[in-house]
Amino acid sequence: MLTQTRRHSYICALLGIKHVVLAVNKIDLAEFSGERFHHIVADYLGFAEALKFTSITSIALSARYGDNVVHRSERMGWYEGPTLIEQLETLDVGEGLDAKPLRFPVQWVNRPNADFRGFSGTVASGVVQPGDRLVVAVSGRESKVERIVTADGDLPEARAGDAV
C-alpha cells in the first residue's frame, strides 16, 4: 500500500469522513488480475480497521483505459461491484448533518441597499428556517432569521449543503 494512501486515510479519519471509496487504479498494469486486486483490498482493510470508517467500497479500475470508471469493464469479469461513477452518485455524504447543530460559515455580506442585509454561505450542518434565533459564535450576539434567499427565490428552510 502506498504511503500516500495511508496519509489520505488518516486525514479522512481526522476530518470525520465516514465513507471511503478505495479506487484501486492501474489494474491494467497487473493484467486486470482479480487476485492482485483482492490482495490490495485485504491489505487496506487490515490497515483501515483502526480508523473506524462506516463503509469502504473497493473498486478495481483502469483510469487510463476507462475500465470501471463510467462503464463496466469487459476485461474484469470477476469484478461485481459498482463503477466509480455509480458509487459516487449514490453515496450520501450529508448523512446525519441535518440532525447536528446549525453551522453556517458566512462567506459574504450581501448589502445591495440600505434596506437589505443578507449573509451568504453554505449551510455546513443543521437546518434553519425563517423565525429561528441564531447566535454568532465569536461575539455571542443574537439575531433572527427573517428570510432565506437564493437566486431562485425564497426558501422555507435551508439544510446542510444548501448555498443561501
pTM strictly above 0.85: no
Q: How far apart are CA 164 and CA 161, in angstroms?
A: 9
Same domain flag for 104 and 85: no
Assign residue 119 the CATH number of its domain.
Answer: 2.40.30.10
Note down the domain range covering 72.
3-90
CATH number where 48 lies: 3.40.50.300
Strands 149-150 and 106-113, how do they pair? unpaired
Asked whether residue 64 is assigned to any structural domain, the reply reads yes
pLDDT at 93: 67
* pLDDT tier for residue 161 given thresholds of 50, 70 and 90: confident
Structural domains in the chain (count)? 2
In a domain, 164, yes or no: no
Task: Report the C-alpha gap between 87 and 97 in whole angstroms.
Answer: 20
**In the predicted model, is pLDDT for residue 16 greater than 90?**
no
CA gap 157, 140 in Å, rounded = 23
pLDDT attached to residue 5: 96
Mean pLDDT of the chain: 93
DSSP-based three-state secondary structure for 96: coil
Q: Is 86 helix (H, G, I), strand (E, B) or coil?
A: helix
102: closest CA among 145, 66, 155, 72? Answer: 145
Listed residues 90, 107, 127: the one ending a domain = 90
Instruction: Render the burial of 144-160: b for 16+ CB within 10 Å, e for the rest.
Output: ebeebeeeeeebeebbb
**Domain boundary residue, one of 36, 68, 90:** 90
Three cell numbers written together for 143: 439575531
